[in-house]
Amino acid sequence: MSEEFELDTDDLKRRMDGAMGNLKTEFASLRTGRASASMLEPIQVDAYGSMTPINQVGTVNVPEPRMVTINVWDKSLVGKVEKAIRESGLGINPQLNGTIIMLPIPELNEERRRDLTKVAGQYAEHARVSIRNVRRDGMEQIKRGKDSMSEDDAKLWEGEVQELTDAYIKRVDAALEHKQEEIMQV
């Protein structure tokens, strides 16, 4: 390969890893009928004048497969945390016990499971689009560098970028398949 042109494949991998990390975070927020502390990560509470993640106002635990508890450190924030959970759209009804908020996770019905698999599919498609955008950027770098390399070198670089893209798309598809199985599991 040409000495003049060097494609930064590490940067492309890093950016594609970022898309995979984002997909994992989005998948973690999907409720599958099993309790998970990560399902509360997107929820923000109005605490002390600013929006704060729930895990910064209390301890989040999963004592049972269908129960999440939040031990709120400041008694004055219990109502705000409860309100934030109710308004989050998770479909969970919080129960108060002093400074502890208990979140019983209800069984998912068939229709809700199908809806969640569609949402998971949308998240996966966003990840694929992000990965393809990184591929496009890599291909544009190769095009701009074509003056300083042979046609064969350009083809080699393009092949490398395409291989990288294909590998990450396969990872997205595998993660989606796993998540959909998890959601549909009764």
Question: How does the average pLDDT of the chain come out, rounded?
Answer: 87
Domain with CATH 1.10.132.20 in the chain: 9-27+109-184
Q: Which CATH number fits domain 9-27+109-184: 1.10.357.10, 3.40.50.1820, 3.20.20.70, 1.10.132.20?
A: 1.10.132.20
- The whole-number average pLDDT for the span 119-127 is 92
> In 29-77, which residue ranges form alpha helices assigned H by DSSP?
none
- The whole-number average pLDDT for the span 115-123 is 87
pLDDT at 11 over 50: yes
Using alpha carbons, select from 152, 132, 154 the residue that is nearest to residue 6.
Answer: 154
Q: What is d(CA 61, CA 35) in angstroms, rounded to the nearest whole number?
A: 9
Q: What is the helix, strand, coil percentage profile of the chain, to 5?
A: 60, 15, 25
CATH number of 34-104: 3.30.1360.40
Q: Look at residue 186 in the predicted model and tell me its pLDDT.
A: 64
The helix/strand/coil state of 88 is coil
Domain with CATH 3.30.1360.40 in the chain: 34-104
Q: Look at residue 41 in the predicted model and tell me its pLDDT.
A: 80
For 72-100, how does the pLDDT look when each residue is reduced to its tens digit (9 = 90+)? 999 999 999 999 988 876 778 899 998 89
As a residue count, the chain comes to: 186
For 58-71, how does the pLDDT look when each residue is reduced to its tens digit (9 = 90+)? 999 999 888 999 99
Please tell me the pTM assigned to this model: 0.67
